[in-house]
Structure 1
Amino acid sequence: MIRTVIFDMDGVIIDTEPIHHHAFFTQFAELGAPVSEAEYATFLGKSTRNVFQHLKEKYHLSQDVEAMVLRKRELFNKSFDEDASLDLLPGVRALIEDLRRHDVQLVVASSASKATISRVFDRFGLGPYFTHRISGEDFERSKPDPAIFLRAAELAETPVSECIVIEDSANGVAAAKAAGIYCIGYASEHSAGQDLKLADRVIQHFSELSAPEIEAIDVR
């Protein structure tokens, strides 16, 4: 029986990807880093710090990694606060509420910074639904490394055999599977181009899921 559902945030709970995209590419231009759309797609699911660590080495950037992280966060926060149309993805709040009515524990495990996770949770009132929020900035390696999901299961005090992960990126799905956790891939229009073939199941809309169905998933 599934006792804990671990949600990714960006692209699963909320589509902040266009805001991240704008912030990153604004900064790439400032840095003179010739990052292509194809290369950028490989960053999805990784922490901002890991992205800039990689870019600093690849493009021999002189700027300090922490300074680049702070600049990207500044650009993101400005766009986030100014975008009045931003909302949760269709059907996800209903699923979250359904899971909590059935006493399924919810954890968010996102590559986003703690500040960004708090910004989303505060704006959309998600705090009461989740027992733990885990940020990728606390880990040396990003997804597809499984550490963030193993930590989520540990904090939830739930064996990985009684957890599932919901992810929208290839890196995130690979991380879940490396952690030994059943993974549902969310193939939304916002995640085009992400290879979810490692997922145990792929959905296009959260209406395809319900709490009783999730609880009954057999991970054997």
Structure 2
Amino acid sequence: MKKAVIFDMDGVVVNTEPIGYRANHQMYKDLNITVPDEVYATFIGGSDKNNMQKLKDLYNLEYTRQQLIDKKYEYYFKVFDAADDLTLMPGVQELIKDLHSHGMKLILASSAAKRKITKIFDRFGLHPFFDAVISGEDFEFSKPHPAIFLEAVKKTGCTANECVVIEDSVNGIAAAKAANIYCIAYKSGLGLPQDTTAADILVTDFKELNYQKIAMIH
């Protein structure tokens, strides 16, 4: 029986990808670089630390990695604060409430920085539902490395076999499988295409899931 659900955030709990895309491409423009979608797609699910290092190396940028991270968030929060199209993913709030009301342990394990997670949790009132929040900035390696999910399992107090991960990116799914956790891929159709074939099952609507269905996964 499954006792804990580990959620990714961007593209799973909240539809931040359009905002991130706008903010990042504004930054790229001001850095005088062009990042095609096929390169940008490889950043999805990775930590800011690793993504900014990749960007620095790919485009031979003179900024330090930390300067690029700070710059990224300067652009991101400008767009975030002005955005009226930032929403939770359809049906995810109902699923979170259903799981929480049945005593399921809920952990957020996101590659995003803590400041971004906090802004989103404050905006949508998500703090009461989650037992722990884990940020990728605390790990040397980001998804597809399993470190963040191994830590999430520890925080649940359950075994990996008693946990489920809900992910939307190829990097996140690879990390869940490397941690030996059952992985549900969520494909909303709202972000850039990601290969979800390595997941155990695929859902395109959170109405396909509820406490009963997740608890009974073998």
**TM-score, structure 1 as length reference:** 0.96
For 2:101, the equivalent position in structure 1 comes to: 101
Matched ranges for 1:180-191 at <5 A: 180-191=180-191
Alpha-carbon offset, residue 182 of structure 1: 0.2
Matched ranges for 1:157-172 at <5 A: 157-172=157-172
Instruction: Work out whether residues 12 and 166 of structure 2, in 8 Å CA contact, stay in contact via their aligned partners in 1.
Output: yes
Q: Which runs of 5+ in 1 are unaligned?
A: none
For 1:74, the equivalent position in structure 2 comes to: 74
For 1:153, the equivalent position in structure 2 comes to: 153
For 1:40, the equivalent position in structure 2 comes to: 40
Secondary structure at 2:108 match in 1: strand
Alpha-carbon offset, residue 31 of structure 1: 1.9
Instruction: Work out whether residues 168 and 191 of structure 1, in 8 Å CA contact, stay in contact via their aligned partners in 2.
Output: no
Total equivalences in the alignment = 218
Aligned Cα root-mean-square deviation (Å): 1.0
Instruction: Work out whether residues 134 and 148 of structure 2, in 8 Å CA contact, stay in contact via their aligned partners in 1.
Output: yes
Further displaced range: 82-91 or 202-211 = 82-91
Instruction: Work out whether residues 173 and 183 of structure 1, in 8 Å CA contact, stay in contact via their aligned partners in 2.
Output: yes
For 2:4, the equivalent position in structure 1 comes to: 4
Query: In the alignment, residue 21 of structure 1 is paired with which amino acid?
Result: Y
Secondary structure at 2:190 match in 1: helix
Q: Deviations over 1:180-201 (max 9, x none)?
A: 0000000111234100000000
Alpha-carbon offset, residue 28 of structure 1: 1.4
For 1:206, the equivalent position in structure 2 comes to: 206
Distance 1:31 1:186 in 2: 33
Distance 2:155 2:209 in 1: 24
The runs of at least 4 aligned residues of structure 1 exceeding 3 Å deviation read none
Instruction: Work out whether residues 23 and 75 of structure 1, in 8 Å CA contact, stay in contact via their aligned partners in 2.
Output: yes
Matched ranges for 1:49-60 at <5 A: 49-60=49-60
Alpha-carbon offset, residue 33 of structure 1: 2.6
Further displaced range: 206-215 or 49-58 = 49-58
For 2:88, the equivalent position in structure 1 comes to: 88
Further displaced range: 207-216 or 23-32 = 23-32
Distance 1:125 1:53 in 2: 32
Further displaced range: 77-86 or 167-176 = 77-86
Query: In the alignment, residue 28 of structure 1 is paired with which amino acid?
Result: Y
Quick one: percent identity of the two aligned structures?
Answer: 48
Further displaced range: 76-85 or 118-127 = 76-85
For 2:26, the equivalent position in structure 1 comes to: 26
Alpha-carbon offset, residue 78 of structure 1: 1.2
Distance 1:210 1:13 in 2: 15
Instruction: Work out whether residues 169 and 191 of structure 1, in 8 Å CA contact, stay in contact via their aligned partners in 2.
Output: no
For 1:177, the equivalent position in structure 2 comes to: 177
Distance 1:31 1:116 in 2: 22
Secondary structure at 2:134 match in 1: strand
Distance 1:216 1:114 in 2: 32
Distance 1:191 1:170 in 2: 13
